[in-house]
Amino acid sequence: MEKVVIARKLKRDVYDPAREEQIIEKLRSSTNILLKADFLEQIYRTLFEESKKNQERGLKVIAFQGQHGAYSEVAARNWDSSLATVPCSQFSDVFDGLSNGIYDYGIVPVENTLGGVVGQVNDLMIHTPLHIVGAIEIPIVHCLLAGYETDPKEIRKVFSHPQALAQCRHFIAKRQFEPTTYFDTAGAAKMIMEQGSKNAAAIASRLAGELYHLNVVEEGIEDFNTNRTRFLVLSKDKIDTQGRKCSVVFSTPNKAGTLFKVLEKFAEKKLNLTRIESIPNQFGKFAFFLDFEGSEHDTAVLDVLAFLEGHTENYRLIGCYNERKLDQVVTSRDQFA
């Protein structure tokens, strides 16, 4: 059904009766003693009808990196629960899909209070002309997830993303678990479900536990309750949100004091900077990311943006948007529905 919703953006018509009959005819020729033609036809015609209903709903799609149940999906659902969430293997897949018009939105983590900035995302932001249309900061609440048939006393190994394992180091050490790295928190939960391991568990979100039918053995197992991640919502097209936060990226000429003059301009206009990051762009060059409070319709902001355009290199206003900071997040499928 995810593919069906995406396909609607790439084709003109929802209904193609000739194609449906072609598929049904092919099914009739592949039946055997266990699969009868009328049974297969009933299943596929039901799928066709449900697919058309989903395409006619006009759902918008938001892509995220990871498996279903990832914290990025938790953030996406809390940002807008009406969007269809679609997983991608890599951050680059999210950016490429947005650039090619496959997805309406993408959501990516940009910084974590404990783990710092997500360097790969910042690098992609430099080289992809996408727009920030929203931001959301959420608390990261880790759960110990295991099969319902697993006795918590028998758990020996715990699987998760290296960052999640590091954020639960004291909890893992206290229970003498063997930490084992996995490519993704939600992916670890899915693996535990598929393998049916009796002496292993995963560290992931409560949503991952619900999606993969795992028992939440313990919740809130992170070492520090200050664990928060900020996510950016991206779009190919600029959206006028009347936002109160702006993000820009630029490089400075190789002259002493250039960056200081930029920061001085923000101070002069009394604009509050909330984030300053620099990452290597090319040999001997750095790109600077700045987030600051204000709207692109404010006179003070317009003055600063004009200054940046005239005194920096590769300047781009990435977005003017609204940001939400949540103290609690919705994680239950029922609550989202």
Rg of the Cα atoms in the chain: 24
Query: Measured between alpha carbons, how far apart are the two ends of the chain, in Å?
Result: 17
Dihedral of alpha carbons 303, 309, 312, 315, sign: positive
H/E stretch holding 318: strand 313-321
DSSP for 239-281, written as a single string = -----SEEEEEEE--SSTTHHHHHHHHHHHTTPPEEEEEEEEE
Give catalytic status of residue 231 as yes or no.
Answer: yes
The distance between the two most distant Cα atoms of the chain, rounded to a whole number of Å, is 80
- Residue in 150, 185, 229, 312 annotated catalytic: 229
For residue 152, give both structure tokens: 């918590």
H/E stretch holding 286: strand 285-293
Give the C-alpha distances (Å, rounded to integers) separating 57 from 51, 64, 81, 85, 195.
Answer: 10, 21, 15, 15, 36
Rounded distance, CA 36 to CA 260, Å?
Answer: 75
**CB-CB contact of 109 with 72 (8 Å):** yes
- Residue in 95, 231, 266, 288 annotated catalytic: 231
Q: In b/e form, how buried is each residue of 153-167, taking b as 16+ CB within 10 angstroms?
A: eebeebbbbebbbeb
Residues marked active site are found at: 229, 231
